[in-house]
A = this chain, B = another copy of it.
Amino acid sequence: MAGNSFGKIFQLTTFGESHGAGVGGILDGCPAGISLDMEQIQNELTRRRPGQSAYTTPRDEKDKIEFLSGLFEGKTTGTPIAFVVRNTNQNSKDYSHIRDTYRPSHADYVYDKKYGFRDYRGGGRSSARETLARVAAGAIAKQVLAVKGIEIQAYVSSLGKIKLDKNYKELDLSKTETSPVRCPDEVIAEQMQQLIEETAERGDTLGGTVSCVLKSVPVGLGEPVFDKLHADMGKAMLSINAAKGFEYGSGFEGATMNGSEHNDRFVSDDGDIKTATNHSGGVQGGISNGEDIYFRVAFKPIATVMKEQETVDKQGRKITLEGKGRHDVTVLPRAVPIVEAMAALVVADHLLRNQTGMLSK
A23: nearest chain-B partner, CB-CB? B69
Interface-lining segment among A41-49, A165-173, A260-268: A260-268
Q: Contact between B357 and A115 (Cβ–Cβ < 8 Å)? A: yes
Q: Contact between A206 and B263 (Cβ–Cβ < 8 Å)? A: no
| Nearest Cβ on chain B to A286's Cβ, whole angstroms | 7
Q: Contact between B265 and A309 (Cβ–Cβ < 8 Å)? A: yes
Interface-lining segment among A52-60, A174-182, A183-191, A238-246: A238-246
Q: Contact between A235 and B244 (Cβ–Cβ < 8 Å)? A: no
Q: Name the one of B119, B317, B318 contacting A72, with C-beta atoms under 8 angstroms.
A: B119
Q: Contact between B309 and A358 (Cβ–Cβ < 8 Å)? A: no
A219 is an interface residue with CB less than 8 A from chain B = yes
Q: Name the one of B23, B106, B158, B356 contacting A284, with C-beta atoms under 8 angstroms.
A: B106
Contacts of A104 in B (CB 8 A): 263-266, 275
Q: Contact between A247 and B244 (Cβ–Cβ < 8 Å)? A: yes
Q: Contact between A279 and B300 (Cβ–Cβ < 8 Å)? A: yes
Contacts of A81 in B (CB 8 A): 15
| Chain A residues bordering chain B, tally (CB within 8 A) | 157
From 74 to 110 in chain A, residues with beta carbon under 8 angstroms from any chain B beta carbon are 75, 77-82, 84, 102, 104-107, 109-110
A29: nearest chain-B partner, CB-CB? B2
Q: Name the one of B78, B82, B226, B236 contacting A15, with C-beta atoms under 8 angstroms.
A: B82
Q: Contact between A298 and B224 (Cβ–Cβ < 8 Å)? A: no
| Nearest Cβ on chain B to A221's Cβ, whole angstroms | 8
Task: State in angstroms the CA–CA spacing of A318 and B276 once bound together.
Answer: 12
A121: nearest chain-B partner, CB-CB? B72
Task: State in angstroms the CA–CA spacing of A32 and B343 once bound together.
Answer: 27
With A204-B259, A244-B248, A311-B265 as known contacts, state yes or no: A107 contacts B2, CB within 8 Å: no
Task: State in angstroms the CA–CA spacing of A185 and B102 once bound together.
Answer: 37
Q: Name the one of B78, B102, B259 contacting A266, with C-beta atoms under 8 angstroms.
A: B102
From 1 to 50 in chain A, residues with beta carbon under 8 angstroms from any chain B beta carbon are 1-6, 8-9, 11, 13-17, 20-26, 28-29, 31-34
Q: Contact between A246 and B249 (Cβ–Cβ < 8 Å)? A: no
Contacts of A275 in B (CB 8 A): 104
Contacts of A317 in B (CB 8 A): 268
Given A102-B273, A244-B249; 7 other pairs, CB 8 A cutoff = A3-B225, A3-B228, A109-B219, A125-B224, A205-B260, A234-B238, A262-B300
6 contacts between A and B (CB under 8 A): A5-B11, A13-B26, A32-B358, A205-B260, A228-B238, A252-B298
